[in-house]
Structure 1
Amino acid sequence: MSIKRFVSVLLLSLPLSAQAAISIQNWQTPQGARVYFVESHELPMLDISVDFPGGSARDPANQPGLAQLTHGLLDQGAGGLSDSEIAHRLADVGAELGGTFERDRAGVTLRTLSSGAEKTAALALLARVLQQPEFPQAVIKREKQRLIAGIREAEADPGTVAGKAFYRALYGTHPYAHDESGDPAAIAKLTRGDLQAFYRAYYSAPNAVIALMGDISRTEAEAIAARLAAGLSTAARVAELPKPVPAPVSDTRIAHPSTQSHVLVGALGMARSDPDFFPLFVGNYVLGGGGFDSRLMKEVRDKRGYAYSAYSYFIPMQAAGPFQLGLQTKLEQTGDALKVAKDTLRQFIAAGPSEAELTQAKSNLTGGFPLRIDSNKKILDYLSVIGFYNLPLDYLDTWVGKVNAVDVAAVKRAFARRLDADKLVTVVVGAEGAR
């Protein structure tokens, strides 16, 4: 669940020139927060994100849902203001508060006009939300009920059921097995003290990554970052997550009143810092990430008509994230579709892409790269990722070159190192899934 989003008076931003190099400035505040800043005066806007290692992977084993609830309540009463007062004050200055919540990280974002009065008011509200969340008892009760209702409602969705089962099968006792939404029974028992303790431990200045993008100077950026960090706790940076252990081969079948089978197949993939990131990323575009151009789509959909869509992707995280292959198909052809998908993966691991496939993939990826950085918001997203995962400051400037440097041999080596077609976890959800 993300923090409520409020409508800004400026709904769309004009693109930042994607042709110019993006100069990322980096420093630490006196409190130890890491800061990443891109100065741009093309728009009278300022975008800020503040991220912490407070995602669902940090839930205590007996309290799944604590991280989600803590994050969701940050703006539901802070610094003497109620949730409605925060919302109204944001609307008054045309600012927008948002958020990010994943397994690795949790964060708050702000978009505001860069003019003095509006910026000052918006930053004051951001500081309250980050530094003085109150976790009111009445709001905790309300949000717990809402979270529990949402989790139970999601149990009717076979795709959600499959996704949760996939992470459990792949990660076992590792923190990534925790579902981002949490567990209803555990959420019901959470107390205000639990939320306060989690907030103090993870939402600290040494844990913070502050990204700023837009119409301010370096001097202003330093002052803003220091102000935001100054009111946070001083709890030490948390340790990195443990490395997950490869899961044993498994085949989970879950009965569900669905008209189709939802199929997920996968294994441990790569961490965000993996040296094979670009060969795996580019190679997967050929395998299952390139839409109608991908091998999986051609084999599963085009040649045999088993599914409308078949895909694969890597999710790079702090520790090894998943590689996942997925499709939906008619109940009676589940076995055949699954076999074709696994055979396609096996063949790709063994032989890699053809030269023609790889050339097309690199051309599509590099040709579309300007669209990845054509707005302040998109660049802010990259800044927060670069900061949180400690990527090189020239990551965006070297991205195209690193994609173009990938060759067939590199893809084959990377896939062979990471994936074994005989050591996969499989999850099938559908009316015939339990067979």
Structure 2
Amino acid sequence: MIRFATALFLGAAAALPARAEVDIQTVTSPDGVGAWLVEEHSLPFIALEIAFVGGTSLDVEGKRGAVNLMTGLLEEGSGALDSRGFARAKEALASSFSFSSDPEKVSISARFLTENFDASVALLRDAMQNPRFEEADIQRVRAQVISGLSFAAKDPNDIAGKTFASMAYGEHPYGTVAAGTPESVGALTRDDLVEAHRNVLVRDRVLVGAVGDITPEQLGSLLDLLLGDLPESGPMLPPKVEPQIEGGITVVEFDTPQSVALFGQRGISIDNDDYFAAVLLNQILGGGSFESRLMQEVREKRGLTYGVYSYLYSRDLADAFMGSVSSANDRIAEAVSVIKDQWRLAAENGVTEEELGNAKTFLTGAYPLRFDGNGTIAGILVGMQLIGLEPEYIKTRNEKVESVTLEDVKRVAGELMNPDGLHFVVVGKPEGLVAE
């Protein structure tokens, strides 16, 4: 389903070892709600991750920011408890709940002790199903959101991201700010938040991952208790959108000694048979390693930046191949030129056997620390479901990486990479760089 930040997810979760103790079970509750479970009874602790697909993309027209604001209010009082009462109850149970949203999903994370299972689940259920949306809380959280939007309006990175998204996706939800604008957020009413809650938290778009001291039977009962009274379905998701990215340069004047550049072209879906070849290609080109071509050519050889990277931005409704770099105003033009050259070289010549071998070693051999712990694993379970993977993925992923050949990567580089379609959005006061 979701494709959001696939490069980041696959770069870590996908590089996980096939650990025998990660035995993923699929569970279906008596009422038909599905979930993935990893039982781990050595500690009296449970981690639960819940994702409602759609997220801020389900904002009603003219109500941009409603889902984001609604999500921020889920732990600001529910049922019989006001905001302070909810916080005290959570603290007394030594439970941890967090709520967040993005254009792909609304996420709910819960951590609680086995001995407080019933009380913690009851408290979480109230937060999900019976938020109070008190006017005082709405005004306070609204002010925080508007303050964040005002800060982002002065951040070069946020400006670059907003400009690129608007260019690529237009009026599609991907093309606008998920948190809304100060004007749209300021106009939201309590009824708008109730509507957002009703539209997003629905049973047929929920994905669940659970890890810890819990049995399949207990998880099934928990699912029906948490989700049973939520609406069965909600509004249709927005349609897929083809990024409107054409080669060129957009310059956004901003008074800063260093320019920020966000660049990108059309990408590749994770459903594509060549996706793993593209993952390896990106790792070699600019996947975050100091050994990547972009880091070597832009930073190490020329000293134009502290960091430059590329990533596959494959999402549920659109796919792009992106990257970012920052450099002094009088050097950003050279950095852009070098990136263009490396893009073209990769497209025309592919990669070397040594580069491919090193990339495979990294992706199959890196054992990310964030895989350790119940909470991390629960998040990975949901992440795998969100991007349409099967439970066996952890065990078979390395084989898929190893099966990619040098010829595969060269062919994909030629087909995917489009040097003439690469667009740069540069925010700052770049010297010698003309908007195209």
Q: TM-score higher than 0.5 here?
A: yes
Q: Is the 8 A contact 2:48 2:375 kept in 1?
A: no
| Distance in 2 between residues matched to 1:251 and 1:320, nearest whole Å | 21
Structure 2 unaligned residues grouped into runs of 5+: 1-15
2:28 is the alignment partner of 1:20:
no
Equivalent residues in 2 for 1:259-278 (5 A)? Answer: 259-278=257-276
Equivalent residues in 2 for 1:217-232 (5 A)? Answer: 217-232=215-230
Equivalent residues in 2 for 1:11-50 (5 A)? Answer: 19-20=19-20, 22-29=22-29, 31-50=31-50
Q: CA deviation at 1:275?
A: 3.1
Aligned to 2:96: 96
Deviation string 1:38-94 (CA, Å, 9 cap, x unpaired) is 111232210011111242222234322122111111111211211221111111121
Cα RMSD between the aligned structures? 2.2
Aligned to 2:392: 394
Paired residue secondary structure (2:174) = helix
| Distance in 2 between residues matched to 1:34 and 1:396, nearest whole Å | 19
Aligned to 2:310: 312
Paired residue secondary structure (2:250) = strand
Q: Is the 8 A contact 2:114 2:213 kept in 1?
A: yes
Equivalent residues in 2 for 1:187-336 (5 A)? Answer: 187-236=185-234, 238-239=236-237, 241-336=239-334
Aligned to 2:151: 153
* Counterpart AA for 1:195: L
* Counterpart AA for 1:160: D
Aligned to 1:123: 121
| Distance in 2 between residues matched to 1:287 and 1:68, nearest whole Å | 35
Change (3 A) 1:245 1:41: same
Change (3 A) 1:306 1:322: same
Aligned to 2:52: 52
User: Quick check: 27-36 or 332-341, which moved more?
Assistant: 27-36
Instruction: Determine which of 353, 356, 362 is the counterpart of 1:355.
Output: 353
Paired residue secondary structure (1:311) = strand
2:83 is the alignment partner of 1:83:
yes
Change (3 A) 1:176 1:48: same
Aligned to 2:133: 135
Paired residue secondary structure (2:271) = coil
Q: Is the 8 A contact 2:35 2:208 kept in 1?
A: yes
2:404 is the alignment partner of 1:421:
no
* Counterpart AA for 2:35: V
Q: Is the 8 A contact 2:102 2:178 kept in 1?
A: yes
| Distance in 2 between residues matched to 1:171 and 1:371, nearest whole Å | 35
Q: CA deviation at 1:154?
A: 1.8
Aligned to 2:69: 69
User: Quick check: 31-40 or 153-162, which moved more?
Assistant: 31-40
RCO comparison, higher one (Cα < 8 Å, 6+): 2
Paired residue secondary structure (2:158) = helix
Q: CA deviation at 1:32?
A: 4.9
Q: CA deviation at 1:360?
A: 0.8
Q: TM-score, normalised by structure 1?
A: 0.90
Aligned to 1:7: none
2:361 is the alignment partner of 1:380:
no
Aligned to 2:110: 110
Aligned to 1:6: none
| Distance in 1 between residues matched to 2:271 and 2:84, nearest whole Å | 41
Aligned to 1:365: 363
* Counterpart AA for 1:79: G
Q: CA deviation at 1:17?
A: 9.6
Q: Is the 8 A contact 1:285 1:361 kept in 2?
A: yes
Q: CA deviation at 1:299?
A: 0.5
Q: CA deviation at 1:18?
A: 6.3
User: Quick check: 425-434 or 180-189, which moved more?
Assistant: 425-434
User: Quick check: 123-132 or 269-278, which moved more?
Assistant: 269-278
Change (3 A) 1:297 1:41: same
Q: TM-score, normalised by structure 2?
A: 0.90
Paired residue secondary structure (1:111) = strand
Deviation string 1:195-220 (CA, Å, 9 cap, x unpaired) is 11121112111121121111111111
Structure 1 unaligned residues grouped into runs of 5+: 1-15
Runs of 4+ residues over 4 Å off in structure 1: none
Q: Is the 8 A contact 1:31 1:206 kept in 2?
A: no
| Distance in 2 between residues matched to 1:125 and 1:430, nearest whole Å | 48
| Distance in 2 between residues matched to 1:268 and 1:175, nearest whole Å | 18
Q: Is the 8 A contact 1:170 1:267 kept in 2?
A: no
* Counterpart AA for 2:19: Q
Q: Is the 8 A contact 1:32 1:205 kept in 2?
A: no
| Distance in 2 between residues matched to 1:421 and 1:310, nearest whole Å | 17
Q: Is the 8 A contact 2:29 2:219 kept in 1?
A: no
